[in-house]
Amino acid sequence: MPVKYIVVDNGNLVIERWQGKISHTELLEHERKQLKDTSIKLRSKGLVDARDASFPETTLNLIHELTDLYTQLGNMRAALKIALLVSSKTWPQAKAYETGGEKHGLTIITFNELGTACSWLGIDLRMVRDHLKKLSFNKQDAGDG
């Protein structure tokens, strides 16, 4: 699956890196798995770097399938505050995810610049860059914007 994530800060922060074309099935499978990850604490923060990913099967009409997972099967591991980094081509999908997350008590804000996302979450940019570099599939620098 073209996603990797790490849980840091004693389970209080999840850092994810998505790359390549992501099928709708892969997106839902990942979210189900992560929502059951007991290393993630309740009320955690999340930084999702999806700038190098595309979600061609996930239409705006299907975003609700992703956000609905937060209320199904007792999934209580959802981060309450998520910074979502995307490119301009996936911006509309990300904004729909923001809106859907609000219905489930999540605060999701879409960004296109890593430094701004880290500031909003109150986390260290250098630490996040280091983790994103480790999570990269091609091991290139994660950059800052």
Per-residue pLDDT tens digits for 17-30 = 999 999 999 999 99
Whether 140 maps to a domain, the answer reads no
Which residue pairs from 116-121 have beta carbons closer than 8 angstroms and sit at least 24 positions apart in sequence? 117/47, 117/83, 117/84, 117/85, 118/47, 118/83, 120/83, 121/13, 121/45, 121/47, 121/81, 121/83
Residue 42's pLDDT is what?
A: 82
In this structure, of 4-8, 43-47, 53-57, 72-76, the range with the lowest mean pLDDT score is 72-76
Cα distance between residue 38 and residue 24, in whole Å: 24
Q: Measuring CA to CA, which residue among 4, 71, 64, 10 is closest to residue 34?
A: 4
> Is 31 within a domain?
yes
- pLDDT given at position 145: 42
pTM for this predicted structure: 0.88
C-alpha radius of gyration, the chain, whole number: 14
The residue segments making up the domain with residue 74 are 3-135
Residue 84 lies in a domain: yes
Residue 7: inside a domain: yes
What confidence tens digit (pLDDT) does each residue in 59-110 have? 999 999 998 887 775 555 566 799 999 999 999 999 999 998 888 788 999 9
Alpha-carbon gap, residue 26 to 118, rounded angstroms: 26
Q: Who's near 99: CB < 8 A, 6+ residues apart? A: none
Q: How many domains does the chain have?
A: 1
121 falls within a domain: yes
Per-residue pLDDT band at 141 (split at 50, 70, 90): very low
CATH assignment of the domain containing 13: 3.30.750.24
In a domain, 13, yes or no: yes
Q: Is residue 50 part of a domain?
A: yes
pLDDT of 79 = 63
> With contact defined as beta carbons under 8 Å apart, do 142 and 49 qualify?
yes
Establish if 43 belongs to a structural domain: yes
Whether residue 1 is predicted with pLDDT greater than 60 in this model: the reply is no
